[in-house]
Amino acid sequence: MDRPAISIVINTCNRATHLRNALHGLRGLRYPRFEVVVVNGPSTDGTEAVLAEWGPRLTLRQCPEPNLAISRNIGIAAAAGDIVAFIDDDGVPHPDWLEHLALHYRDPAVGAVGGFTVDNTGTRWQARKTICDRFGNAHAVSEFFDERPLNRPGSPYYPSLLGTNCSVRMAALREVGGFDHSFAYLLDETDLCLRLVDAGWHVLYEPRALVFHQFAPSGIRNAARIARTLYPSAVSKAYFVHRHGAAQDPGRVAGEIERYRADLLSSNAWFEEHREIGIEHRLSLDHDLALGLHDGQERARRHGHRDRADLEAEASPPAFRPFATADGLRICMVSQGFPPENDAGIARWTAMVAQELVRRGHLVHVITRAAGEESVTQREGLWLHALRPEPEGAEPLMLEYGLPPNIAAWNARVQREVEALKNFGLEVLSFPIWDLEGLACLHDPALGVAMSLHTSYALARPFKPEWEARPLYDHFMVRKMIAAEARALATAPLLLANSRAVIADLEAAYGITLPESRLVLAPHGTEDLLAGAPPAVQEPACRMLFVGRFEPRKGFDLAAEAALAVLDALPEADFTFVGGILDDAAAEALPAGQAERMRQHPRIRFAGVMDRPALEAAYRACDVVVVPSRYESFGLVAIEAMAAGKPVVALAVGGLAEVVTHGVDGLLVPDGPRAAAHLAAALCDIGGDPALRSRLAAGARESFTKHYTVAAMVDRLEPAYRQLAASARARREAA
């Protein structure tokens, strides 16, 4: 049997951001025949703009009032598929969601199929199997419970599917009249399931059909999931009890309504007592409850005995409009840090690459480290898996790879998540050399694996005297990591290098030769810091900027000495340090008395650690950026300066010697005992010569647009990832 055509219906109201995420999530579905119908309204936010982004890929309809049953029926009437699948505007499906649902429709007796739903943590169940009675009460059952014997007309108990993860045969919907408009919110799908069972259709669960549900705030509940109003749900409950429960056991009706009323009044009182809501909110909820129960009973009395619900066909239903899915790669990137919580080099590189790959149609997962509980979320097509290390799984990896316990614990959790992601169709894994975050997966035959080259433990060690000052740490952590790095470099299928310098430095540090066949050169890129930004205010003074940690490797001591010399020579100049505070630890790297001179200097400012918007503003506001690092595998600060159209003064070391072109977009000075003096002289040249400053600034901007955009970076990485995926595919086919 051919797969049935499926119409996915999303009903949305004032949740534009979540709707965008949901639509991106649908692009990842692996199913050949589905369309997407979005019923909007009445929205007053940016929903229309979101829908305009998707244009003709969607079938669009409007709902005149905030009534979910009405909105669902409008969507059904606009659908052209054999099956109608419902997902909320804050839900994202597993790639095989439709595939698993569709399998059950081979049986012509099946009228509806629902899946299991993951809650907003992305790691726990919201709902699996639910059985309801004819008074609308839900009864939890085991995931192994067999619901099939309950599929008989008149059954006191029946399967009840969750509205954000269910599907219904179109013929069954038309037979029972779709949804009942009395259910503006709550019990709408429960009512439908009951009527389907009574009509002789079977309602089933499919555990593999997963939806990740974000629980977005709405007009009914706030972000804490506390009701804003109880009126719609109270109407639904009273209507359901009187319509369905009374027919089974009239004597239970009053008791069921009273129990429901008492439970909610008690909840409202608890929320007020614990200051979750105020007295006015509580009284409003109590009033909503009373009015809703009354109105629901009246609706049941007036038209609760109809044979069919309220579905009406469109006069000219549209043709089936296939939804274009993403045909790109399925990639996982690993980085313990990720913006905005961590904006360091590897974290930022990972974020920029991942977001650009998503923009190009690839499906990307990022595994990062959770600050608190684990979570899995999806934002505009990018899946973020925030995880915790797994110490209980560390020992085998410590033995196999010689890793320190903390590194092995993180690898164990990464490896387990990668295994789970294979269920999403994962093809490519990319991780950084620093901390060897994906080492346990390096030789997984089912995947194409790349290791990106950054500063490693071996490259950082000469600039970390504190490591050698701790012999046990140096032995049990640093030396173990260096040995593991050497093995990884020797055997990694593909190495992503950001500069020729980092390749040469790694070969020298480990005494190896890295073959060109395993190397891809992809210089870093960064975002355009002038796009959409207001023009910087022009000042007569030359404003100089240092960005980095206050440590010897970043050349903080060189910048400090150069700053004092420059400010003595240029009375109109000023100097800003970003990235730390001049505390006792930072002052230890400076000559005696120098820290105090800097603290007291009227034209030196310590701006601390800035968030991203403030840092970008600082780049735009300065006139020159000094990058005095004694070693950088690349030099991200340098290209961020260029992205803001600012010249760079840097030591001619590591990747900086490749990034900065002397006399074109900045000035390079030699490292050595007089490095600080050379930096000061170069800064004085730029600070004292406006024409030179202007020429280098123009050159910096041109270098950025030609070489260091995010698009240029991913232009080099994308073919490498495609090559890895193809190799992995060939191995799987040959196996």
CA atoms of 728 and 713, how far apart (whole Å)? 23
At residue 588, the pLDDT reads 84
CA atoms of 649 and 667, how far apart (whole Å)? 5
Domain boundary among 224, 240, 270: 224
Query: Do residue 158 and residue 48 come from a single domain?
Result: yes
Query: Do residue 517 and residue 656 come from a single domain?
Result: no
3-state secondary structure of 334: strand
CA atoms of 448 and 47, how far apart (whole Å)? 39
Query: Do residue 150 and residue 19 come from a single domain?
Result: yes
Question: What is the total count of domains within the chain?
Answer: 3
Query: Do residue 206 and residue 76 come from a single domain?
Result: yes
How sure is the predictor about 536, in pLDDT bands with cuts at 50, 70 and 90?
low
Read off the pLDDT of residues 135-161 as tens digits, 9 standing for 90 and up: 999 999 999 999 999 999 999 999 999
**Which domain CATH number covers 16?**
3.90.550.10
Read off the pLDDT of residues 98-128 as tens digits, 9 standing for 90 and up: 999 999 999 999 999 999 999 999 999 999 9
What predicted TM-score, i.e. pTM, was given to this entire model?
A: 0.89
Query: Do residue 476 and residue 551 come from a single domain?
Result: no
Nearest one of 546, 628, 565, 560 to 594, comparing CA atoms: 560
**Which domain CATH number covers 616?**
3.40.50.2000
| Chain Cα centroid distance, residue 687 | 43
**Does residue 639 form part of some domain?**
yes
How sure is the predictor about 317, in pLDDT bands with cuts at 50, 70 and 90?
confident
**Does residue 664 form part of some domain?**
yes
Read off the pLDDT of residues 599-657 as tens digits, 9 standing for 90 and up: 999 999 999 999 999 999 999 999 999 999 998 989 999 999 999 999 999 999 999 99
Percent of the chain at pLDDT exceeding 70: 99
Residue 197 has pLDDT above 90, yes or no: yes
Nearest one of 574, 588, 591, 674 to 626, comparing CA atoms: 574
Residue 732 has pLDDT above 90, yes or no: no
Packing angle of the helix pair 188-198, 68-78 (nearest 10 deg): 60
User: What distance separates the 2 farthest-apart alpha carbons in the chain?
Assistant: 95
Query: Do residue 616 and residue 702 come from a single domain?
Result: yes
Is the Cβ–Cβ distance between 156 and 98 less than 8 Å?
no
In the chain, what is the straight-line distance between the N-terminal and C-terminal CA atoms, in Å? 29
**Does residue 322 form part of some domain?**
no
CA atoms of 505 and 474, how far apart (whole Å)? 21
**Does residue 79 form part of some domain?**
yes
Read off the pLDDT of residues 220-275 as tens digits, 9 standing for 90 and up: 778 777 889 999 999 999 999 999 999 999 999 999 999 999 999 999 999 999 99
**What average pLDDT score do residues 528-552 get?**
84
Query: Do residue 423 and residue 484 come from a single domain?
Result: yes
How sure is the predictor about 555, in pLDDT bands with cuts at 50, 70 and 90?
very high
At residue 1, the pLDDT reads 52
Query: Do residue 459 and residue 600 come from a single domain?
Result: no
CA atoms of 333 and 438, how far apart (whole Å)? 9
Packing angle of the helix pair 479-491, 500-510 (nearest 10 deg): 120
**Does residue 147 form part of some domain?**
yes
DSSP-assigned states of every residue in 33-78:
SEEEEEEE-S--SSHHHHHHHHGGGSEEEE-SSS-HHHHHHHHHHH
How sure is the predictor about 556, in pLDDT bands with cuts at 50, 70 and 90?
very high
Nearest one of 79, 118, 637, 112 to 376, comparing CA atoms: 118
At residue 304, the pLDDT reads 76
Token pair 């073919």 is found at 719
- When the pLDDT of each residue in the chain is averaged and rounded to a whole number, the result is 94
Domain boundary among 465, 490, 521: 521
> Which residues have CB under 8 Å from 147's CB, separation 6+?
129, 131, 159, 203, 204, 205
Nearest one of 436, 458, 462 to 511, comparing CA atoms: 458
At residue 483, the pLDDT reads 97
Query: Do residue 548 and residue 513 come from a single domain?
Result: no
Nearest one of 214, 218, 181 to 43, comparing CA atoms: 218
Residue 535 has pLDDT above 80, yes or no: no
CA dihedral (270, 275, 276, 277) in degrees, to 10, reads 90
Is the Cβ–Cβ distance between 85 and 101 less than 8 Å?
yes
Query: Do residue 645 and residue 567 come from a single domain?
Result: yes
How sure is the predictor about 540, in pLDDT bands with cuts at 50, 70 and 90?
low
SS3 labels along 274-308:
CCCCCHHHHHHHHHHHHHHHHHHHHHHHHHCCCCC
At residue 259, the pLDDT reads 95
Query: Do residue 635 and residue 602 come from a single domain?
Result: yes
Q: Is the peptide bond before 340 cis (omega within 30 degrees of 0)?
A: yes
210-224, 361-375, 692-706: which range is least confident on average? Answer: 210-224
CA atoms of 690 and 186, how far apart (whole Å)? 69
168-177, 208-217, 688-697: which range is least confident on average? Answer: 208-217
Q: Which is higher by pLDDT, 191 or 590?
A: 191
Q: Which domain holds residue 660?
A: 543-708
**Does residue 100 form part of some domain?**
yes
**What average pLDDT score do residues 308-337 get?**
91
Query: Do residue 506 and residue 576 come from a single domain?
Result: no
**Does residue 265 form part of some domain?**
no
Is the Cβ–Cβ distance between 449 and 333 less than 8 Å?
no
| Chain Cα centroid distance, residue 146 | 36
How sure is the predictor about 537, in pLDDT bands with cuts at 50, 70 and 90?
low
**Does residue 690 form part of some domain?**
yes
CA dihedral (425, 427, 428, 429) in degrees, to 10, reads 50
